[in-house]
Amino acid sequence: MTALQLRDGFAGQEMFVIPRPILARARQHPLIRSVHPTDIGWFPKASHHYRHRPNGAKQDHLMLCVGGHGYVMVDGQKAHLQDGEIILIPRNRQHTYWAAEDAPWSIYWVHFLGDDADYYVERMSRPGQPVSVEASARHEAVRLFRYCLDALQDGYGLPTLIYAAQSTQHILSLLLYRNQSLPREQRSGPRRNRLESVIDYMREHLTENLRLDDFAREAGMSVSHFSERFRKQTGQSPMAYFIQLRMRLACRLLDLSGKPIKTVAMETGYRDPYYFSRVFKKSMGISPEKYRDIKKG
């Protein structure tokens, strides 16, 4: 780090700090309160960029690096943030970050809060550590950042703030739930999510007659503890989730093949085609035969 240290003021930068009184009123809206930006910006080639927050920020903070590189220190742990990576700094965590001297980073960033913000923070197995972003997810995230920044040029009216909140949720969902690089990062981390391993196990054994005990054993938990954890993370019971995966497979087979219903039932783990039809109708609202007859697309 050089003696010159800048918080902002970079050529071509864009930055919006939403006035807190306006935000306090707007966040009562159901489309805003879930997750919303408090500050958002774009710092291109941010030479001498430096920030130190000994008490952390009052919001969760996501940075997406799209060029150059820099360094982030959270609770004394230093990390190297490079082109094509994101980092998430949870609120109230002591941190410092700065752009590299040889190739200062270009970053999109957003500070966010909301009733559901913790779900995004908890998605990161190692908050404060960089995670690579798959190329298509990165390009889409940049596009969404641009849309959000452009919209905020029009001021802080309620429609604009709703759009900014929805854009922020889309960015977070894309980078933390649809980023194909993230599961690999999590598998290599010390806190690999065992519930995600169980979901992988479900997908690999859709045709088998598995029970709740099998899933709990795979997770290394008691049945009651596993069921509680699974429902908290997915919003569904383990068996309901397993059936949903089977029904998705059944729909694909009905849409993309001319196989008889009996064969579709067998290939989704149901030996009794009549029982399969009852489960399918309960899940989809119509019988497999009627589902196949629907013109789609």
246 shares a domain with 181: no
Question: Which CATH number characterizes residue 288's domain?
Answer: 1.10.10.60
Q: Average pLDDT of the chain? A: 89
The confidence score (pLDDT) of residue 234 equals 81
182 shares a domain with 208: no
182 shares a domain with 275: no
For residue 296, name the pLDDT band (cuts at 50, 70, 90).
low
- Of 135, 155, 188, the residue that ends a domain is 188
Domain range for 95 = 14-188
pLDDT tens digits, one per residue of 100-116: 999 999 999 999 999 99
Q: Does 8 fall in a domain?
A: no
222 shares a domain with 103: no
Interatomic CA distance for residues 212 and 242, integer angstroms:
10
159 shares a domain with 66: yes
Q: Does 7 fall in a domain?
A: no
Q: Are 236 and 225 in contact (CB under 8 A)?
A: no
Give the H or E element holding residue 188: helix 182-188
213 shares a domain with 84: no
The confidence score (pLDDT) of residue 184 equals 46
- Of 161, 188, 215, the residue that ends a domain is 188
Please, which residues bridge with residue 112 across strands? 37, 60
Interatomic CA distance for residues 187 and 297, integer angstroms:
36
| Number of domains composing the chain | 2
Question: Which CATH number characterizes residue 49's domain?
Answer: 2.60.120.280
Residue 7 gets which letter from DSSP?
A: S
The confidence score (pLDDT) of residue 233 equals 79
119 shares a domain with 66: yes
Structure tokens of 193?
């999510």
20 shares a domain with 99: yes
Q: For residue 269, give Cα distances in angstroms to 198, 209, 216.
A: 18, 7, 20
152 shares a domain with 41: yes
- Of 188, 208, 227, the residue that ends a domain is 188
* Residue 141: partners with Cβ closer than 8 Å, 6 or more residues away: 64, 108, 133, 171, 174, 175
For residue 3, name the pLDDT band (cuts at 50, 70, 90).
low
225 shares a domain with 159: no
95 shares a domain with 66: yes
